[in-house]
Structure 1
Amino acid sequence: MLYTGGPLTVLVKGGVSEGEVESAGDTAIVQLTFILIYVITFFLLAIRWKKTVYVLTKNQNIVLLTGIAAFSLLWSVDPTITFTRIVALIGTTLFGVYLSVSYNSLEKHLLIVSFTFGLIVIVSLIFSVVLPKYGVMSGIHAGSWRGIYVHKNAFGKWMVLSAIICLLKCLKVDKKYFIWEAALGLSIFMLVLSRSSAAIIVFLDMIIIFSLLNVLRLQYDLIVPIIAFMMLVTSITTLWAVDNANEILGVFGKDTTFTGRTDLWELLIDMALRRPWLGYGYGAFWGLNSASEEVWRAIPWHPPNAHNGYIDILLNIGFIGLFIFAIGFIRNLAISLMLVRQYKTPEVLFPCMLISYFAISNFSESGLMVQNDFGWVIYVSLSYLLSASLNNKNHKSLTINHY
């Protein structure tokens, strides 16, 4: 729950909202909490060192990416920021490794993550109803629910993921229990109340992907005509959407620039091409340096990140880092699709749904290879689980069981 960004940050900031006077709060509490998590994680991995070494050997992509980020200290435009964020990235990565070591199957992963988001849903509901100073935004987004998070967009993003996980739990558990159906309904309800248009669009996309994954489980003679029909419908819908883009986006409070994002992306790509191969150093671009100040002079709303996970990787560790990330990402997606065809259990949909979710959501938000972020934690953990399942010769269980 802490790795999703709540609830410590909104509490220490006193519940201030965007457009109000910013309150720094005692953010040292948040930093110390994560440092404590790093130390405990390292200790837990150390006492399981044989399992840890085995897991690390199953996926060199994660080690290589983290290594490039660490070595970017050598060419960083702001070594101080890079150093602190590298420490946090390594700690976050190790926590993902810890999850794959201790919860060494997809079923266990779905269990621990579902209870985490179940808790997030309950606490967010309490914050929004009982403690509206913290759970409901004021200022320029007055009335939008944000639960245990600082901003409505973060809340909306995690409610989409919560809905996905609760949907998978609904498929798995006994139908006489309605806990996960209620959690699914609450997740969608609070997603709507967050008024996060990007999150709502991503949720609709995930429903389509969920349907496609179930189609993949059919016999081959049924898959081809169904997918052909869906592609035809998608093509027609896309052409209609392009012709009516302004009207459709207006419903969600957006325009064809995605609230200024396209202007930002164009400028950032130009900035990235100035240091194309290795970037500006991990986490160093967005700091008090000439690069980010040039962006802030051109973009009046002072973005704290690229609002695009792929561009942020490009700025951090260049085309080399983005290429290595893409190779690992495509590999994970391919393995997860293979498992969807091979197994019929709900938890097998879990990695494919999450990977698809991060692929789509990061076109409008930054959540790839970010320190102290749940997205990177679960991506690392699933990467090792998927790699281990590929090497599992008997294929009788999706478990890292060769320690």
Structure 2
Amino acid sequence: MAGTLVFSYVLYRSSTILTFTSIIICALTLGAILSLFFGFFIPDLGIHAGETSIDHIGLWKGVYGFKNHLGRFMVVLTLAVFVMIFVFKRTDFKYFLILLMSMFLIYKSGSSTALLLLFICPLIYCFLNIIVSSKINRYIQALVLLIFLSFVLIGILVLPYIVVEIFGKDMTGSGRTDIWFSLFNVSQSPLIGHGFGGVFWGEYNSAYYLLDEAWFNLGHAHNGWVDIWIELGYIGLFLYLLITLKVVYAAYNLVFRKKYNIYAYIFLLILFLFLYSFSGGGFVKQNNMLWVLFCCSWYYVYSRERINVNDDDVSIK
């Protein structure tokens, strides 16, 4: 973990936010191109053949080894390109091409969480932009707020239909809730947890003894909050939520109250990581790319001395 933190800090110190965003776009675009190549020309490697679950047969994993990994990294890429096009007004054809390519791969991955967040994160960004804008009439802002709340309510009401009929899944989230209840019932140390990495990682790990055999080979609980709780207990979960919600609010404050548009991607990235934790695996792990992105985002948000210092930042404020 110390090495991963150092790597994140070096990346932050050597890059402006625009450079950081460009690095992500370059790296994940290469991953997208290779995933397309594997999917079309080497399907034995790029497409699931039932090695993990019969439900995954035919879903793309690209060069990322698993369909959900492909889906979530393509969302990270899509959000970066979204910011370049719609926030920084970079309308180069290459960005639109990357956008189409990444969205196609998200669809082919079959990752329902990634697909939902692909639309939810930009919608939240646009909604907040309208609500805090001084150029938009208060009555229009109130109307937009009512419409947004109506969509949220409708979304909750039709959620079973979306999950079952559109995504072809059940209300357990493909067994996710069963895992959570199993963990809750068998945890032997709910206050302080079983130790960092002491449940799911490694052969004959704690999960092998704590859970039914149907779940022993999982690498996480499919919920970042549950992962933290089973490892670090209620104390660790409280600290995790405190840190995460604090950085979400700090990024919101920079983008929507202080109007530093340069932080738009950082806000979207943190928002994605926070929402992804509801049904995806926890990212607080060593050598984990999402943890690196979170650490870099944290550094940028709380680096007061770097705000409005870099030429790139000033020009886009």
Query: Which category of TM-score, normalised to the shorter sequence, fits these structures?
Result: 0.7 to 0.9
Deviation at 1:135, TM superposition (A): 1.4
Q: Within the alignment, does 1:240 sit opposite 2:181 as a pair?
A: no
Task: Determine the C-alpha separation between the residues in 1 that align with 2:18 and 2:169.
Answer: 39
Aligned 8 A contact 1:333 1:352 in 2: yes
Q: Deviations over 1:243-301 (max 9, x none)?
A: xx1564332021111111111101212334x312321111111252455323133x457
Distance 1:195 1:168 in 2: 24
Residues 1:155 and 1:98: Cα distance change in structure 2 (over 3 Å): same
1:3-402 aligned within 5 A: 89-103=1-15, 105-139=16-50, 140=54, 141-171=56-86, 172=88, 174-175=90-91, 177-219=92-134, 221-222=137-138, 224-241=141-158, 245-246=160-161, 248-272=163-187, 274-286=188-200, 287=202, 288-289=204-205, 291-297=207-213, 299=214, 302-341=217-256, 342-343=258-259, 345=261, 347-389=262-304, 395-397=307-309
C-alpha change, 1:266 and 1:344, in structure 2 (3 Å) is same
Of all paired residues, the percent bearing the same amino acid is 26
How has the CA–CA distance of structure 1 residues 248 and 329 changed in structure 2, closer, same or farther, with 3 Å as cutoff?
closer
1:210-256 per-residue CA deviation (whole Å, 9 max, x = no partner) reads: 322332451275374145323432344135325xx156433202111
Q: 1:314 to 1:398 in 2, by over 3 A?
A: farther
Conserved in 1, the CA contact under 8 Å of 2:75 and 2:118?
A: yes
Contact 1:167 1:181 in 2 (8 A): no
Deviates most, 283-292 or 360-369: 283-292
- Which is worse superposed, 220-229 or 128-137? 220-229
Q: Counterpart of 1:388 in structure 2: which amino acid?
A: S
Return the alpha-carbon distance in structure 2 between the equivalents of residues 109 and 372 of structure 1. 18
Residues 35, 63 of structure 2: 8 Å contact kept: yes
Separation in 2, partners of 1:329, 1:165: 20
Structure 1 spans left out of the alignment, 5+ residues: 1-88
**Structure 1 residue 122 displacement after superposition:** 1.6
Structure of greater Rg: 1
Point out 4+ residue stretches in structure 1 off by more than 6 angstroms.
none
Using the alignment, how far apart are the partners of 1:285 and 1:228 within structure 2?
42
- Measured at CA, do residues 261 and 302 of structure 1 come closer, stay the same or move farther in structure 2, by a change above 3 Å? same
Q: Which amino acid aligns with 1:92?
A: T
| Deviation at residue 357 of structure 1 after TM alignment | 0.5
Q: For the residues of structure 2 that align with 1:213 and 1:127, how far apart are their CA atoms?
A: 39
**Distance (Å, rounded) in 2 between the aligned partners of 1:191 and 1:156:** 5
Q: Which amino acid aligns with 1:160?
A: V
CA distance in 1, matches of 2:113, 2:242: 27
Once the two structures are TM-superposed, the CA of residue 368 in structure 1 deviates from its matched residue by 2.3
Do the aligned partners of 2:130 and 2:141 also contact (CA within 8 Å) in 1?
Answer: no
State whether residues 85 and 95 of structure 2, in contact with CA within 8 Å, keep that contact through their aligned partners in structure 1. yes
**How many aligned residue pairs are there?**
302
Extract unaligned runs of 5+ from structure 2.
Answer: none
Cα deviation code 1:278-327 (max 9, x no counterpart): 21111111252455323133x45743211111111112222222222222
In 1, distance between residues paired with 2:158 and 2:130?
A: 25
Q: Deviations over 1:20-71 (max 9, x none)?
A: xxxxxxxxxxxxxxxxxxxxxxxxxxxxxxxxxxxxxxxxxxxxxxxxxxxx
Contact 1:156–1:194, Cα closer than 8 Å, also in 2: yes
Higher relative contact order (CA 8 A, sep 6+): 1
Alignment RMSD = 2.5
Aligned AA (2:174): T
In the alignment, the residues of structure 1 paired with residue 299 and residue 263 of structure 2 have an alpha-carbon distance, to the nearest angstrom, of: 15
Structure 2 length-normalised TM = 0.86
Contact 1:310 1:368 in 2 (8 A): no
